[in-house]
Amino acid sequence: MASPQNTLLRLLKPDRLVFAATVFFLATMHQHAFEDRFVLILYYLAAVGAAFALVRRGSLGFATAVVAIVAGTMFAQLYYAAKPTVWSPIFDAVRDMIALGSILYLTLRVLMASYRLQREEKQRAIENQIQEQLVAMRAQALRQTSHEVRTPLSTITAISETLLDGSTGDLNEAQQDFVKDIDDSAHHLLALVNDILDYAKAEAGMIRLAPQPVAS
């Protein structure tokens, strides 16, 4: 269950605050906007600026809602200002209800589509962030593996080769066979570790292939 603090933090997100402030401004200035040209300019400038700011923040749903509110207020003002030349109580009422219902339906579809796009965009951003964290973790694991595994193996091969070349004294045949088995096994394990590390680096995107033409 979400704590009150987390709920408050979600409500106080910048995009929600911008949307709430914009809706409050539009509701407050709506009546005055259509009575004074300067106020009308400020009215639409604030709406367009808020929509642009919300789009820049990735809040397509809120931006679309602001545009829909402005378009709705403009349509309502023009609708009531327009005077029909001929009025039919039944036909015109049904026609207007169908038209307004269609506009409302399409507006809701646009809002839902914008909200879905916003959610998908946020989901992609989260997935990209997780992928970047996984690549960083793989890189860290590769560095640790390189140090913790390859270094001891390299030391074993160096010591076995020193013993085999007689630098520390002569070995009998049994001792040489024993040390040679150690050296061969260490080299084999080191080659296997190198292959695994190369594959892991390629999978993590740490190795870039440079194709070159091959003579036929």
Nearest to 154 by CA among 178, 180, 187: 187
Predicted pLDDT at 161: 85
Please give the Cα distance from 182 to 108 (Å, whole number). 74
The percent of residues in the chain predicted with pLDDT above 90, rounded, is 0
72 and 29 Cβ atoms separated by less than 8 Å: no
Give the model confidence (pLDDT) of 28-44 as tens digits: 887 777 777 788 888 88
Boundaries of every domain in the chain: 10-82+93-118, 129-203
**Mean pLDDT, rounded, for 3-12:** 61
pLDDT band for position 3 (cuts 50, 70, 90): low
Helices (H), the chain: 4-11, 14-33, 37-56, 60-81, 91-145, 151-164, 173-203
Sign of CA dihedral 90, 96, 99, 100: negative
Nearest to 182 by CA among 151, 216, 158: 158
Give the model confidence (pLDDT) of 184-216 as tens digits: 888 888 888 887 777 777 766 666 667 777 765
Q: What are phi and psi of 72, to 5 degrees?
A: -65, -45
Sign of CA dihedral 3, 6, 11, 12: positive
Task: Evaluate if pTM is beyond 0.85.
Answer: no
Predicted pLDDT at 197: 75
Give the model confidence (pLDDT) of 104-131 as tens digits: 777 777 777 777 877 888 888 888 888 8
Give the model confidence (pLDDT) of 56-78 as tens digits: 777 777 888 888 888 888 777 77
pLDDT band for position 11 (cuts 50, 70, 90): low
Predicted pLDDT at 5: 61
Predicted pLDDT at 44: 83
